[in-house]
Structure 1
Amino acid sequence: MNKTFDRTSSILFALIGALFVAESRNISTSAYGSEVGPNLFPMGLGIILILLSLRLFWETFRYRESVTSAVVLRHKRFLLMLLATVLYAWFLEDIGYVISTFFFLLAGFRLMGSASWWKSAAVALAFSGGVYAVYVHILKGTLPGFPTWLGL
C-alpha cells in the first residue's frame, strides 16, 4: 500500500467527481419520452466517486507504516478489461443493454478471479436485467432494448 499515492489519487478522483456533479447540472433536465433526465446518471456517478474518494482518503490514515509490499502489475487483466469496455460500448446499441451488460459483467467477474461460471452468470444476468427493469419500467427511462432479430 502506498499512502501518498492513495491520498493523491483520492483527492484527484474527488475533484473529478465534483466536476461530474457540476457539469451534469448544465445538461437539460428532461429527455424525450423519459421522466428521468439525462443529468441523473452523471450526477449520481459524480456523487459516488466523491464518496468513494473520501473513504479512500480516510482509510489512508489507518495504514500501518511498516507495510511495504511490491506492487504487482497485471497488464494482461487491465488490457482485457479495457478491451471488454470498448466492446461493451461498441455493441451496446446493436445487441441492447441487457445482453451487452450481461457479457461485460461476466467478462469482468471472470477477469477479477471469480471461480464459478454459474455464479458469475447468475449475478450478471440478475444485475443487467434488474437495472433494465427498474430504469425502464419503474423510472420510465430509456435504454437500448433487445435487438429486433431476437423477435422479443
Structure 2
Amino acid sequence: MLYTVGEMAKKLNIAPSTLRYYDKEGLLPFVERSDGGMRMFKDDDLELLLIIDCLKKTGMSIKEIKTFMDLVQQGDDSINQRLEMFQKQCKAVELQLAQLQDTLDILKYKRWYYETAKAMGATAVPRAMKTEDVPEDIRPYKEKYEKRRNPSK
C-alpha cells in the first residue's frame, strides 16, 4: 500500500512538514515519487522512518542521521559503523536519563518541601527539619539536593 506524506506523518505522529524536511535533507532516499512528483511511502518505509524518528529523539543531529542513512544505503558492508553509532547513542541516552532522574529527584524533594511549607505556613519549617524528620521516601532526594547545594559538606 502507498501512503501520502500526510498519511505517513499521521502514522508516525509527526507533522507532515517534518517528513518534507527530512526528504529535503537527504534522509529519505528510499521514498518513491508519483508521476506528479508527490512523495509516496510504502509500508516497508515505516521501519526506517521509525529509526529516523528515534535517532532524532536521542538528540542526534540531522547530519549524523544523514550519515546513518548513507550507511544503510551501503548495505551490510556498513554494519560495524551503524552498530558503533547505536552504541554511542545508547550511551548518550543513558547519560540523559541519569541527568533527568537527578532533576526529577530534586523536583520531588522541592515539591514535598513546598507542600510542607504551605501546610505549615512558612518555608522555614521544612528548611529547619533534620533528615530524620523528613518522610523516609523523601530523604534520599533531600540528601541528594543538600549535597548539590553544599558540595563541600
Normalising by structure 1, report the TM-score: 0.26
- If asked which structure has higher relative contact order (CA below 8 Å, sep 6+), I would say 1
Normalising by structure 2, report the TM-score: 0.25
Whose Rg is larger? 2
Q: Is the strand fraction higher in 1 or 2?
A: 2
